[in-house]
Structure 1
Amino acid sequence: MKTSLHATALALAAGTALAGPALAETWRFNNFLPETRPESAQIEQFAEDVNTALADRDFEIEVYHGGSLGLPNTDLLRVVPTGAVEMSLMWANYLGRDAPALGSVFVQGAISTVDELLKVLPVAQEIYEEEYDEWGITTVGFVAIPTLSVSVFCRDEPVNTLEQLRDVKLRVWAREQVETFTNLGVAAQIIPQEETYVALRTGVVDCALYPALYASTISLQEVTEHAAFLYPMASAPYTIGVPDELWESTDPEIKSAITEAADALWERTNQYDADLENEMAAREALAEQGITWHDDFPEEDRALFIDAVSETWQMLAEEAGGNALDYRERVLTALGR
């Protein structure tokens, strides 16, 4: 018996030696944004903060940018809970197919000032945590988006009135924008940001709705020549989600490091003082690369756009039903409307 036990012990020891030291636990972070986006740099800093805090725990977060893991934005509510990825950036405006109520929280263009945004953010974060929890996803943090100036970038001819916009095919990124522009008589279609460059080059669309601040991250200056400002936009924050089962089984020390880094990430990004300055610098840089900036859309056109946005917001909430009406009411209450 002793010989047998001894032999077994030697075999186990040999197996351990051959296997070598235990590999570090790695969490893949799915970031659908281009690596060149400012938010991506902030996410990298978040991962570095976690990895530094847990350097002696053989744990690390590895960030995959630009959808390189092959997970479509619109499928994340289905994919993340399965554990196909350990951590993912999520944006409610991309998820309306599976969770229509999310589209009634922030409708593009309905909130346009920093003061309004700051009133709404705590309510929106609370709603997102509730909604994602219903899908088996734990919210571990948020990434704020700057207040943006959304412009119309066109390939061949300048467009800076609604009348002109009705004669072109327009790229947008969310369903509420399709509904709003359709209400205004404009042919709009959703094209993911990673496909926008090719869609413009090949003529699938003539113009693209896009913030100047981020236009160079998808090289719009290479496929468009004209741009004009249409409307200001405050956006819903991005959410960082982890599958419930994974989060519940995660060591408390790792959880603490992640939440602390996420708090620091939110503190860094939830700042808006430099937004206008950054916008003008982006426009100047684009002009140096060949974009001609034309007069802004006239005030009367922008007023028509805002009216259409309000109608879209109400329509989407009523269509979604259920929690959507409550979400919209909570946001309106926070705005004092």
Structure 2
Amino acid sequence: MLNLKTITAGALGLSMLASATLAETTLKLQSVTPGSADEMVMLKSFADDVRDLTGGELNIEILPTGAVVGVQETLDAVDAGLVDAGFAWTHYWSGKHPAAMLFGSPVAGAGVGMDNFAFMSWFMNAGGKELYDQLWDEMGMNVKGFMVQPAGPEALGWFKEPIETMADFRKYRFRTPPGIPGQTYKDIGVASVAMGGGDILPALEKGTIDAAEWCCPKPDSVFGFQKVLKHYYLQGLHQVVVNGDVYFNGDVFNGLTPSQQKAIEVAANASLMKTYAYRIWENGKALDKLINEDGVILHDTPADYFTEYMAAAAKALETNASENEFFAEVWQSQKDFARTAIPFWAGAQTSNANLGRAYAAELAAEK
């Protein structure tokens, strides 16, 4: 087992020292995703922005999963300085602190109706960022984090046969995310099985699981789920909000100049909007191909799913808040934000959703 805490202080920012004589700094950032993933495309765009904003002084080399350490060691590797930076979804570290879920994947929109746009409003304007910075101290991690890639809402997932009620759903062994979102499925009687993205298709082919969720039409189709399952449901609650983050070793980040630190912050904020734009277009193209070329049938999620999952998610949030003071503080902040912001945002989005669904219905009628 790799003991990352034995890394010497001299290893911190090794790539920085090696390039200092050239007045350039190159940081190595390892992702938890493979080189072919869409997340890598967006990470490289983030790195390009950092390079351009610093006039070439600061470069970020993007490495795929496993290049230095395994997925589960990524945050520890950043903390210890074995790599300068990492990319993952913060709910991956819920085992280190339950509040990580409230930043990476707050189950059922934190139970207060947040989507990814509303979440970003809370994060950037209503105290979320300050709590996010505190999270790393709560974990005892020497890390400076930046949110860079929102992904929600994620699809409910893929099934062999149509599901009309939760009774149908409970017949399947279902791949889910780890942590509270997956546990919530267990709480409503679904046989939830957590596994990595690369393991899902082989598990479906072997019959280890019967149904699965991963993300959204583009990433799902890249994994090839449509080869095995043909019934697809877009509306799910387990990851209405999902955020991918970049983590820098704290000493490495503090060793950068103020202008370089600001360049990272600006590039991270730009990545949020770039990611929204990228994902809507890419997922739209992928869904069109799934339906019109790959024989996938798109369904609406059964109504009783929403009531059952919401109730179980609310109970899970209450339980964690009662057991952890910082979790309770973060969740209270989200609830305070939601009381003011969500009535406006939900009402405005209803118009957009109804307009979009009407147009989608027109397209379906033409076929």
* Shorter-chain TM-score range: 0.7 to 0.9
1:34–1:148 CA distance, 2 compared to 1 (3 A): farther
- The aligned runs of 1:202-221 (5 Å cut-off) are 202-213=206-217, 214-221=219-226
Asked if structure 2 preserves the Cα contact closer than 8 Å seen for 1:30 and 1:88, the reply is yes
Matched, 1:312 2:310: no
Question: Please, what is the CA RMSD of the aligned residues?
Answer: 3.0
Partner residue of 2:327 out of 303, 317, 324: 324
Instruction: Identify the residue that residue 333 of structure 1 maps to in structure 2.
Output: 336
- Secondary structure, aligned partner of 2:207: coil
Instruction: Identify the residue that residue 239 of structure 1 maps to in structure 2.
Output: 245
1:124 shift after superposition: 3.3
1:142-189 Cα distance to aligned partner (Å, 9 max, x none)? 2141432412213x4344531112111110112212221112111102
Instruction: Identify the residue that residue 203 of structure 2 maps to in structure 1.
Output: 199
Name which one, 1 or 2, has greater alpha-carbon Rg: 1
d(CA) in 2 for partners of 1:163, 1:56: 57
Asked if structure 2 preserves the Cα contact closer than 8 Å seen for 1:178 and 1:188, the reply is yes
Instruction: Identify the residue that residue 5 of structure 1 maps to in structure 2.
Output: none
Amino acid paired to 1:145: P
Amino acid paired to 2:79: P
- The aligned runs of 1:264-283 (5 Å cut-off) are 264-269=270-275, 275=280, 279-283=283-287
d(CA) in 2 for partners of 1:29, 1:127: 24
- Structure (1 or 2) with the greater helix fraction: 2
Unaligned runs of 5+ in 2: 1-19, 341-367
Asked if structure 2 preserves the Cα contact closer than 8 Å seen for 1:153 and 1:207, the reply is yes
- The aligned runs of 1:1-337 (5 Å cut-off) are 25-54=25-54, 57=57, 59-65=58-64, 67-69=65-67, 71-105=69-103, 106-110=105-109, 111-113=113-115, 116-122=118-124, 123-134=127-138, 135-139=140-144, 141-154=146-159, 156-213=160-217, 214-231=219-236, 233-269=239-275, 275=280, 279-319=283-323, 321-336=324-339
Asked if structure 2 preserves the Cα contact closer than 8 Å seen for 1:101 and 1:322, the reply is no
Q: What percent identity do the matched residue pairs reach?
A: 18
Query: TM-score, structure 1 length as denominator?
Result: 0.80
1:140–1:151 CA distance, 2 compared to 1 (3 A): closer
Unaligned runs of 5+ in 1: 1-20
Asked if structure 2 preserves the Cα contact closer than 8 Å seen for 1:92 and 1:236, the reply is no
Larger RCO: 1 or 2 (CA < 8 Å, sep 6+): 1
d(CA) in 1 for partners of 2:145, 2:187: 37
- Equivalent pairs counted in the alignment come to 311
1:53–1:84 CA distance, 2 compared to 1 (3 A): same
Query: TM-score, structure 2 length as denominator?
Result: 0.74
Asked if structure 2 preserves the Cα contact closer than 8 Å seen for 1:162 and 1:301, the reply is yes
1:53 shift after superposition: 4.4
1:234-264 Cα distance to aligned partner (Å, 9 max, x none)? 3243222111121222344543433333333
d(CA) in 1 for partners of 2:165, 2:294: 21
1:269-308 Cα distance to aligned partner (Å, 9 max, x none)? 3669x84x76554322222453432532222332222222
1:96 shift after superposition: 0.8
